Amino acid sequence: MIARIPLSATDEDILRISSDNPGWRVERTADGVLTMTPPTGAASSNRNARLTHMVFEWAEPHGYVAFDSNGGFRLPDTSVVGPDASLVTQEAWDKLTPKQRERFFPGAPAVAIELCSDSDNPKDLQAKLERIRSAGAAYVVLIDPYRSKIWTDGTAPANFDLDFRVLFE
């Protein structure tokens, strides 16, 4: 279930709306439409916590910074997306000032991962990942535990050997 709100919103508006609606994920499409998705069920939330843990544990020793589903990325087309888990290189992170780090990351993550919940449409998530890939992500992953499928596009970072199939359980 996704709410689509045709509203021209700035980055500050997105942050305010998110703050006013805890638990809802707010993103902006390139044409300015806000999308809001409700909190997930308990099983999906548990899978997402496990996914975040996996990505976080992998990141630092390999030169990356990890983000959970609350991290926003402002793509070159002005859309703002928040993948379920994502990575940026340490080098890209180090280029940001402390103030920039408090805002949406300027650009696409190096890796973006979406984890399908019971209420998600896998085709919508794949389309979102394709947009992120087109915006500059080197690698995108869609994990669908309901159909036991993993879809990827691009080139994974060296030694990115995470076994996402554990999230099928």
**Domain interval for residue 49:** 40-168
pLDDT digits (tens, 9 = 90+) for 120-153: 999 999 999 999 999 999 999 999 999 999 999 9
Quick check: is 132 in a domain? yes
Please state the domain count of the chain.
1
Asked if the structure places residue 139 within a domain, the reply is: yes
- Say what the pTM is: 0.91
User: How large a percentage of the chain has pLDDT more than 90?
Assistant: 73
20 compared with 63, residue with greater pLDDT? 63
Residue 21 domain-assigned (yes or no): no
- Write the pLDDT tens digit of every residue in 53-82: 999 999 999 999 999 999 999 999 999 999
Q: 80-100, pLDDT tens digit by residue?
A: 999 999 999 999 999 999 999
Q: Are 107 and 74 in contact (CB under 8 A)?
A: yes
Question: Residue 4 domain-assigned?
Answer: no
User: What is the edge-to-edge ordering of all strands in the sheet holding 80-81?
Assistant: 3-6, 33-37, 25-28, 80-81, 73-74, 105-106
- Do 147 and 29 meet the contact criterion of CB atoms below 8 Å apart? no
A 10 A CB-CB count for 117 gives 21
